[in-house]
A = this chain, B = another copy of it.
Amino acid sequence: MTTSGPPLKRAQVERLVRYLHFVRQSKGRSAAVSSARLAEHAGLDESQVRKDLAAVGVRGRPRVGFRPAEILSAIEKRLGLDQGYRAVVVGAGRLGSALIAYPGFARYGLEVVALVDADPLKIGTSIGGLIVHPVERLGEIVRDKEVRLGILTVPDAAAGEMARRLACAGVQAIWNFASAGIDVPEGVYVRHEHLSVGLAELAYHLSGRVSAE
């Protein structure tokens, strides 16, 4: 527990990530960033931006703005991104391979240290510098490498069983890319990354309706 203040809600975390991302992208380009620019980037009111930043201890100076380095350090600390944690990818298919190669992980404190798959033909091959291990070794891998996050990129039909195995192996959180819902014991945090929500939103827009939001 390196952070302070009351627990953040999911929507607050999302907003802080947007500010963080904007400041990281524009870092070095200016000595100060205004709440107006942050608000525009995040699609929010300026007052919301100021409130969110104040909640993590960042206060701007009138007519100057916020110091980028201060925003970065405050949000990274509040979100625990300065700590680092290890993950295993379950499912050595295209999506699993794509995620292993995703350059953003390190910037959010995450390191993929192992890769497992149920397909005997994949076991022993190397993807993105990681050897594919059999799922039977999941428990051992999680324990030995101190893995705290399982990234689930298996087909829907296998998602439930693999989530169960991850939970039994002792991970504290699961990042689920399968569309299937998964049941996990209390205490295991699940983040669903439902591509279908994006697909449906786009289909809805293309069908001729414009969101009122």
Q: Is A195 interfacial (CB-CB < 8 Å)?
A: yes
Q: Is A21 interfacial (CB-CB < 8 Å)?
A: yes
User: Which of A3-11, A45-53, A59-67 contacts the other chain?
Assistant: A3-11
Min CB gap A118→B, angstroms: 17
The interface bits of chain A over 74-88 (1 if a CB of B lies within 8 angstroms of the residue's CB, else 0) are: 000011110101000
Residues of B within 8 A of A121 (CB): none
User: Which of A28-36, A137-145, A162-170, A172-180 contacts the other chain?
Assistant: A172-180
Q: Complex Cα distance A155/B3, Å?
A: 32
Contact residue range for chain A?
35 or more
Q: Complex Cα distance A180/B101, Å?
A: 17
The interface bits of chain A over 168-207 (1 if a CB of B lies within 8 angstroms of the residue's CB, else 0) are: 0000110100011100000001010111111111111111
Residues of B within 8 A of A110 (CB): 199, 202-203
User: Are the C-beta atoms of B14 and A201 separated by less than 8 Å?
Assistant: yes
Q: Which residue of B has the minimal Cβ distance to A81?
A: B203
User: Are the C-beta atoms of B102 and A195 separated by less than 8 Å?
Assistant: yes
Contact of A108 among B102, B196, B209, B213 (CB under 8 A): B196
Residues of B within 8 A of A205 (CB): 172-173, 189
User: Are the C-beta atoms of A7 and B210 separated by less than 8 Å?
Assistant: yes
User: Are the C-beta atoms of A181 and B25 separated by less than 8 Å?
Assistant: yes
Q: Is A208 interfacial (CB-CB < 8 Å)?
A: yes
The interface bits of chain A over 95-112 (1 if a CB of B lies within 8 angstroms of the residue's CB, else 0) are: 101110111110111100
Residues of B within 8 A of A212 (CB): 6-9
User: Are the C-beta atoms of B80 and A206 separated by less than 8 Å?
Assistant: yes
Which of A127-167 touch B at CB < 8 Å?
Answer: 148-149, 155
User: Are the C-beta atoms of A21 and B201 separated by less than 8 Å?
Assistant: no
